[in-house]
Each structure stands twice: as structure tokens, then as C-alpha cells.
Structure 1
Amino acid sequence: MPDVVQERAGVAVLMCDPDGPPVATVEDALDLIGAVFLGAEVVAVPAGRLDERFFSLGTRFAGEVMQKFVNYRLRLAVVGDISWHAAASPALQALVRESNSAGHVWFVPDLDALDARLRTVA
């Protein structure tokens, strides 16, 4: 299934295919941002599509990707269980907490949680 724009909780969301190409570079993230110009306000990326470096904050990859979404005024939702990454990194736990309290980047465990979050901003 390709990445598709769906309306979820009244918001246009680019739903990224779990089996799609990995997001391993900032350019990969920019490709997703470019696809949003089909009309989406949010990009929902399965956690499994993110390169392992995204969850290792010392690489700065997560910060670079997240900043691109902020710069383009788009929301990024990382969808899936990242608990094993977070368990190994207090810094990642703090980033998830901070991100989830702000408006541009969210970490949600599943699509039901994404829908609930979208309902708060729609």
C-alpha cells in the first residue's frame, strides 16, 4: 500500500505505509514533507520506518527531522511502540514527553491514540 492521504478525526493525514522506504536521511524526511502538499496537515510515520539513529539522540537525526517539520509548519506523528527505545534513554523519554505536550511532533502508540490526539486539534 502506498502512502495515502486520509481524513482522520477531521484532519487530513498522510498515512505512511509501514512497508515503505525507511526514513534514514533528512532528505527522506523532506520527501515526506513534499508529499504533504497533496493536502495533508499531519504526517503519520510508523516508528518502524524510522532509522535507528532517530531514537539515538546523540546522532541529532531526530532533531534535524523534527525541525524540518516545524519549519514547514507541519505535524509529525510517530506511530508505534517505541518503549524499548525509550527504556534505554532518559533523554528520549524527555523528548517524547516534551513533544507530546507541544503541537508539532507527537509520539503515539497506535492509530486510535493518533485519532484521539487529532480530535483535540481539529
Structure 2
Amino acid sequence: MNIRKIRKNNIEIAVVDSDETLITNGSTALDFFATIQYDSGCERFVLKQSHLVSDFFDLKTGLAGNVLQKIVNYRMKLAIVGDFSIYSSKSLSDFIYEMNSGRDVFFLNSEEEAIDRLSVI
């Protein structure tokens, strides 16, 4: 795993690069975000869709809600980058729409979009 720090609009963002699944449950999510925050000094993160176990995108498992609640509770911000059109779930589509309308968690198509969204105060 590699962490790149990007600075835009005087805000530092940690971009995580890895070929591995990094978050598999709520406990690993909390440990992961705490480690990244400590190592990078950032409170805003960019992850790839592939960094999350596939159960994350099945809302019935509750994993997405569990993980994203930790982001909100600890006052962090997260952008997940990927192609979410591969999922046919209407509830997931609605969930992504709602998240993208908020201020803490975003599902976006590119790293550039993620950095732009996270670099707003």
C-alpha cells in the first residue's frame, strides 16, 4: 500500500494506492482509517472501489452503513472512486445519490473528481 498526499485549496488529501482489498469489515475500516490518518496527517481520503470488499456494495449486509458511519463519527471525509454502474441495485443507486448530495462521503468516477470534491471546505 502506498499513500500519496495531495494538497489542493490548502487542504491535504490522502490518496491510497493498493492492489489489495483493504476494508473487509467495520473493525478493519476503523483501524485502516485511524492508521491512514496517523501516517498521513490527513482527514480526507480517496479509496478505489476495489479497496472495499464486494459485500460493501450489498446494502443488505449493513457493511456500507457501518463503515461510513465511522467516517462521519470521526469527522473524516471519504471519496470512493470507481464504476458503480456495474451494480444493478436501485437501493444502492439511491444510496450513492444521497451520499453524493451530502458533505462527508462521495462515490465518484475519477481521482480528479474526488480531489476536487474533497478539497472544498
Q: What TM-score do you get using the length of structure 1 for normalisation?
A: 0.87
Partner of 1:12: 12
Task: State the Cα distance separating 1:21 from its structure 2 match.
Answer: 4.2
Write out the 4+ residue segments of structure 1 that deviate beyond 3 Å after TM superposition.
none
The alignment partner of 2:17 has SS state of coil
Whether the 8 Å CA contact 2:13–2:115 is kept in 1: the answer is no
Range with bigger deviation, 11-20 or 96-105: 11-20
Residue in 1 that maps onto 2:101: 101
Q: Is the 8 A contact 1:19 1:49 kept in 2?
A: yes
Distance 1:25 1:53 in 2: 9
Shift of 1:53: 0.5
Residue correspondences, number = 119
Q: Paired residue for 2:45? A: 43
Aligned match of 1:65:
67
Q: 1:2 deviation in Å? A: 1.4
Structure 1: gaps spanning 5 or more residues: none
CA separation of 1:2 and 1:20: change in aligned 2, threshold 3 A:
farther
Structure 2, gaps ≥5 residues long:
none
Measured after TM superposition, the shift of residue 39 of structure 1 is 1.5
The normalised TM-score by structure 2 is: 0.88
Deviations 1:82-102 (A, max 9, x none): 2102xx100011111100010
The separation in 2 between residues aligned to 1:49 and 1:115, in whole angstroms, is 17
Determine helix, strand or coil for the equivalent of 2:80.
strand
Amino acid at match of 1:84: I
Structure 1 position 80, deviation (Å): 1.4
Superposed CA RMSD: 1.7
Per-residue deviation, 1:41:
2.2
Contact 2:79 2:118 in 1 (8 A): no
1:9–1:115 contact (8 Å) kept in structure 2: no
Question: CA offset at residue 11 of structure 1?
Answer: 2.1
- In structure 1, which of residues 54, 57, 67 is the aligned counterpart of residue 56 of structure 2? 54
CA deviation vs aligned residue, 1:63-106 (integer Å, no higher than 9, x gap): 00000010000001111112102xx1000111111000101100
1:9 CA displacement: 4.5
